[in-house]
Chain A
């Protein structure tokens, strides 16, 4: 029963003044090594909170996260995050943003030349070498996410946390980045946990889709395995019956059984 990453009976209660809001209730989830897991749910269901708990940026009220047999309760580079709004440091160049992470994580283990090489290697993985000397304000939103991804990959995390990484991008750029992430997952075999609210994206990229019920006190409503062989081809999947069935299952969950009740 020792899984690679275990989210163990996590509850999260936010307290403001005298009112207590239970955001997450009894979340238990096992993630295997190399697995790509998506968490999908309507906005406000606490999926970002869950990711932040795994990242260590938010503390669970009860329960906890165990990664490779160790309890983790503070942030660290072994759980690198790609933030929704890229979170690049605007005063550093693309190269320096990645290099900062490389220097911090490998400062003691690698020589200066090796760190330089590793930084460029990761920029190359996300096809961003051409913009190494540009500042974040000079590159597009999609490119910023690529740099954010390069920074996260450069930390060699045990689990890669993607917090709606494509949410702020236009449809074409998003498609392009999804392909990049899919390719990198195949190549590097990272364990990935991704937050999304895009059904197609979840089915295309994931091995398993975790569907969250609406908050407050959101729970895992259903877990769907996506038994589509890799490498997956976007165009072929459009007519793939398994893909369509999975897609339908998620859509049914989100829009029939757990419809988002706005301002109820």
Chain B
């Protein structure tokens, strides 16, 4: 802002000596500040561009919901009613008021523990079996159609069978998670192993890598993007399965909470639980996707 003034000063009155140093000192400072300002503004702009649209949409949807359910005779509660009636559930996830009266955070943790065991087993078993199957054309041809049929079976349909087999709700729930999430992991791993480029096999052959080295240095890294696709589908499915399984087996988990709330006509609580399930499922997916992008960095790009 001082520039034009300074310039006219110089051109108008050359002999006035004190002006040039003053110009030299003043000009750089505002320049640097504007550079900083634009950078901060750009960052803030980016954050705003990511945050504002979803916030606006949530407000719009909540308003629509509020308006729709405010009519007389509406069967579902409004957001404001949920807020007032399920206030303690929303604000404090980790309260303990009695053996069956605990915060949703605790219930989610119990469910997550079951998922961790069932999904962990599915990941180990699925990757191992997929690796074996992927190496044999005949195993692939023989087993792939069977897996394709089995993977479409609903988690709930497995529950009676697992209850009959284990005669206990806890292992049954874990088994249901396992059996739901294992198929995409097996299938994707097998496809990944089958799709190892001939180039990498040639490199391994020229270097005379043994089976063990080939497995760790070529096979697993090369198939990693496929394996992680399977793992990502698997975590989504197992989170779907846990809610269904817990509804039927009982216990402390978030699924049973919904069933219990339904039986005692606490509709607002169910909505809060749904929000929990959605957010946790989203986070689980993000976590697996994050691990995937770290582990497979550079692998997919060629």
A interface with B by C-beta (< 8 Å):
55-57, 74-77, 79-81, 83, 85, 87, 89-91, 100-101, 104-105, 135-137, 155
Q: State in angstroms the CA–CA spacing of A85 and B208 once bound together.
A: 20
Q: State in angstroms the CA–CA spacing of A76 and B300 once bound together.
A: 27
Do the beta carbons of A89 and B205 come within 8 Å of each other?
no
What are the residues of chain B within 8 A of A135 when measuring CB–CB? 297-298, 301
A136-B298, A137-B302 known; A56+B221 contact, CB < 8 A: no
Q: State in angstroms the CA–CA spacing of A83 and B205 once bound together.
A: 13
Of B41-49, B67-75, B195-203, which binds chain A?
B195-203
Do the beta carbons of A77 and B202 come within 8 Å of each other?
no
Q: State in angstroms the CA–CA spacing of A250 and B301 once bound together.
A: 39
23 contacts between A and B (CB under 8 A): A74-B205, A76-B206, A76-B208, A77-B206, A79-B206, A83-B202, A87-B199, A89-B203, A89-B221, A90-B298, A90-B301, A91-B224, A91-B296, A91-B298, A91-B299, A100-B217, A101-B207, A104-B208, A104-B213, A135-B297, A135-B301, A137-B301, A155-B206
| Extra pairs beyond A76-B208, A101-B207 (9, CB < 8 Å) | A55-B206, A56-B205, A75-B208, A81-B202, A89-B203, A89-B217, A91-B224, A91-B297, A100-B217
Do the beta carbons of A89 and B200 come within 8 Å of each other?
yes
The residue in B200, B206, B209 that gathers the most chain A C-beta atoms within 10 A of its C-beta is: B206
Beta-carbon contacts under 8 Å, B211-252 to A: 213, 217-218, 221-222, 224
Q: B205 touches which one: A57, A85, A91 (CB < 8 A)?
A: A57
**What range describes how many residues of B lie at the interface?**
20 to 34
Q: State in angstroms the CA–CA spacing of A135 and B296 once bound together.
A: 12
B interface with A by C-beta (< 8 Å):
199-200, 202-203, 205-209, 213, 217-218, 221-222, 224, 296-302
Chain B's nearest CB lies how many Å from the CB of A49?
A: 14
Chain A residues touching B, majority SS: loop
Q: State in angstroms the CA–CA spacing of A155 and B205 once bound together.
A: 13
Q: State in angstroms the CA–CA spacing of A77 and B224 once bound together.
A: 27
Chain A's nearest CB lies how many Å from the CB of B216?
A: 11
The 7 closest A-B pairs by CB, nearest first: A137-B301, A75-B205, A87-B199, A135-B298, A91-B221, A91-B299, A104-B207
Do the beta carbons of A90 and B299 come within 8 Å of each other?
yes
Q: State in angstroms the CA–CA spacing of A100 and B302 once bound together.
A: 19
What are the residues of chain B within 8 A of A90 when measuring CB–CB? 298-302
Chain A's nearest CB lies how many Å from the CB of B203?
A: 5
What are the residues of chain B within 8 A of A74 when measuring CB–CB? 205
Chain B's nearest CB lies how many Å from the CB of A207?
A: 24
Q: A105 touches which one: B205, B207, B297, B301 (CB < 8 A)?
A: B207
Chain A's nearest CB lies how many Å from the CB of B202?
A: 6
Name which residue of chain A comes closest to B300, CB basis: A90
Chain A's nearest CB lies how many Å from the CB of B300?
A: 8
What are the residues of chain B within 8 A of A155 when measuring CB–CB? 206-207
Q: State in angstroms the CA–CA spacing of A136 and B160 once bound together.
A: 52
A77-B207, A104-B209, A137-B298 known; A89+B202 contact, CB < 8 A: no
Q: State in angstroms the CA–CA spacing of A105 and B208 once bound together.
A: 9
Q: State in angstroms the CA–CA spacing of A136 and B301 once bound together.
A: 9
What are the residues of chain A within 8 A of B221 when measuring CB–CB? 89, 91
Do the beta carbons of A87 and B203 come within 8 Å of each other?
yes
Name which residue of chain B comes closest to A93, CB basis: B298
Q: State in angstroms the CA–CA spacing of A74 and B299 once bound together.
A: 28
Q: State in angstroms the CA–CA spacing of A196 and B224 once bound together.
A: 35
Q: State in angstroms the CA–CA spacing of A183 and B79 once bound together.
A: 77
What are the residues of chain A within 8 A of B301 when measuring CB–CB? 90, 135, 137
